[in-house]
Structure 1
Amino acid sequence: MSSGATELGELLVAAYRAFAQQGRARFGEHGLSAARVRLLTTLGQRPGSRMRDLADALGVSGRAITPLVDALESEGLVARRPDPDDRRAFRLTLTDAGLGAIDRIAGLQEQVSADIFGGMSTKDRRDLARLLRAFLDTAQEPGCAPG
């Protein structure tokens, strides 16, 4: 059976939604919102980021990220440190508790993925990974980039 381009796009969107829904449900059981997970994991990849740089990396406004950082700081997961290059700015770091949260997030991500992909054979998972890499390579070609 041959799938048209429109059907492939619809399947990709449906697959993303199903995956995201499973993730939101599992993380929600542990009091973790998508926004918290994204901020913590991004900060884990970019320790010492300024809030503006973190907001840019997440694709949100500084105004949107401030309450989330404030909440994570009050919970002891994130710390603000003075920026040595700019007295008006702060650098964000994960605390030991924040690093522990990253470990829990990684474990939950592994569980969600295992639940979703567990019904597929090893060969099907390898094929899916290969096809998704090919899709991403194609989607990043100059003719596909938004103008």
Structure 2
Amino acid sequence: MTTPDSDGLLPEQLLRLTRRVHRIQKRQLEQRGLGVTPAQSRLLRTLAHYDAPPRMADLAERLEVVPRAVTTLVDGLEASGKVRRVPDPANRRVIRIELTDDGLKALRELHDVRRSAAEEILTPLTDQQREVLGGLLDTLVDGMPPQGRDC
């Protein structure tokens, strides 16, 4: 029995698209001179999702990387003034990571870079194609078809 993707083309297309998005984002980061790598960008975005400054172990778990990788990223971001290490008020031996004002500014610029990269990718699509793609991506992200989703 053959499937619509019996030759395995879809996974390859998805991987190629992901790589293209990353290349565009990296190029735009370099052009804007933000001094942030894609990995640091991901850490900044992750930090923004916490209500209170997280521990490095929390970041490593959320990013699904080893703690040493987070230490290296934080070191670079701290050197550029985008994050700072702060002692935990309940346990001064615990260090937490928080965004600085420069980090928040960089985060806004990174958001613009991501939107610009997405727009560059989506330019060839019509409004109707974008709508269809959006529905398909929602299904892939949520892992269920639209009719099974709570709206």
Give your verdict on TM over 0.5.
Answer: yes
Equivalent residue number for residue 5 of structure 2: 4
**Residue type at the aligned position of 1:32:** V
Letter aligned with residue 27 of structure 2: A
Percent identity over paired residues: 34
Q: For residues 1-147 of structure 1, what are the structure 2 equivalents within 5 Å?
A: 3-5=4-6, 6-29=8-31, 30=33, 31-46=35-50, 47-138=52-143
CA–CA distance in structure 1, aligned partners of residues 36 and 125 of structure 2: 27
| Cα deviation digits, residues 84-127 of structure 1 (max 9, x gap) | 23221111110111100001101111111111112211111110
SS in 2 for 1:24: helix
Q: Work out the CA distance in 1 between the residues paired with 2:20 and 2:75.
A: 31
Measured after TM superposition, the shift of residue 74 of structure 1 is 2.0
The two structures have a TM-score, normalised by structure 2, of 0.82
Distance 1:32 1:74, change over 3 A: closer
Higher helix share: 1
CA distance in 2, matches of 1:83, 1:124: 49
CA deviations 1:54-101 (Å, max 9, x no partner) are 111111111111122122112211111111232211111101111000
Listed one character per residue, the Cα deviations across residues 36-56 of structure 1 (whole Å, up to 9, x for unaligned) are 100111111124011110111
The verdict on how the C-alpha distance between 1:32 and 1:75 changes in structure 2, with shifts beyond 3 A counting, is: closer
1:21, 1:8 → 2: CA distance?
20
- Pick the structure with more strand per residue: 1
Which of structure 1's runs of 4+ aligned residues deviate more than 4 A? none
